[in-house]
Amino acid sequence: MIPAGFEYHRPADIASAIALLQQHGDEARVIAGGHSLIPMMKLRMADLSHLVDLQGISGLSGITIGEGSVSIGAMTTQNALITDAALAEAVPILREAALQIADPQVRYLGTVGGNVANGDPGNDMPGLMQCLDATYTLVGPDGERQVAARDFYEAAYFTAREDEEILTAITIPIPAAKGYAYVKQKRKIGDYATAAAAVLLGEGFASVAMTNLADTPVHSDAASAALAEGDVEGCVREALQAIDPQEDMRGPIAFKKHVAGVILRRAITKAQERAA
């Protein structure tokens, strides 16, 4: 379980990191917490010869709560999301989801930026960011641009991020909705979701997204619209239409659809209780 050799870089600023990506092209990868990348490197499924560690770049981590939105630096760890009291007040669904990711040791190093940028359909934050209608900040050779989380995911591990860009921050509008829930079914601690659902629910408003039930996270406008009108059955029906789970070691397609329905209903019930 030893990865292939590589050259290690720890740039001190973002411009140097981008220069390394430009210089080495697809031979280079950035590393944040490394808890998705290092296992892939050990299995020799990630092939790279230059590793660009972002830990030396200041200003990439931290949580800023603004007037109507929250900004989270990409290098902010899952543990930092869990322990930030002001964030738990402003966007409590983030803490609820982060507590269900992996285990304590992984959450100390795993970052929210890595979780959303990797494009792994099993990661929890992409679905949640779609539910919250978050925006990602990408910095590349031509400067900075913003991409909506709902436009970011193209296929498993394929995203709108260019090879020479680095995802530096996430901006989340503070939800007016009081009701929220992130509910996840997993076989054991540390596992990815068999199915997970993120729900926001307020007066005449709802947002519904699902995790690990297609090759990208799934946000359903139709399911959200149905739930906004109080139509739970319609919401579940629309969400189950929108997903496209594949058979794997977590079960066959019919089972996953069944679990998706159960989990979404639980999330809706929890969100309704909190909204009341």
Partner 1 sequence: MSKMHVKLTVNGQEVEGLAEPRTLLIHFLRENLNITGPHIGCETSHCGACTVDMNGKSVKSCTLFVAQANGADVTTVEGLVNEDGSLGVIQEMFREHHGLQCGFCTPGMITRAHRLLQENPAPTEEEVRFGMAGNLCRCTGYQNIVKAILASADALNAQKEAAE
Interface contacts to partner 1, rule CB under 8 A: 1-8, 10, 31, 34-35, 38-39, 41-42, 51, 53, 55, 79, 102-106, 108-109, 189-190
CB of 212 to partner 1, least distance (A): 18
Nearest-angstrom CA–CA distance, 142 and 58? 21
Q: Which one, 3 or 251, has the nearer CB to partner 1?
A: 3
And the tokens for 172? 């989340």
Tell me the three state secondary structure of residue 4: coil
The residue with tokens 């729900």 is 199
* 7 or 221: CB nearest partner 1: 7
> How far is 224 from 206, CA to CA, in rounded Å?
5
Task: Compute the distance between CA of residue 165 and CA of residue 179 in angstroms, rounded to an integer.
Answer: 35
Q: Give the separation between CA 271 and CA 173, rounded to whole angstroms.
A: 18
Considering the complex, state which of residue 81 and residue 214 has its C-beta at the smaller distance from partner 1: 81
State the minimum distance, in angstroms, from the CB of residue 108 to partner 1. Answer: 4
Q: Which is nearer to partner 1, 36 or 159 (CB)?
A: 36
Minimum distance, C-beta of residue 10 to partner 1, in the bound complex (Å): 8
- Strands 195-202 and 205-211, how do they pair? antiparallel
Task: Report in angstroms how near the CB of residue 164 gets to partner 1 at its nearest.
Answer: 22
Q: Which residue's CB is nearer to partner 1, number 20 or number 210?
A: 20
Residue among 241, 187, 234 at smallest CA distance from 210: 241
Instruction: Answer whether 176's CB lies under 8 Å from 107's CB.
Output: no
Instruction: Please state the closest distance from residue 39 (CB atom) to partner 1, in A.
Output: 6
Q: β-strands 195-202, 166-173: how paired?
A: unpaired
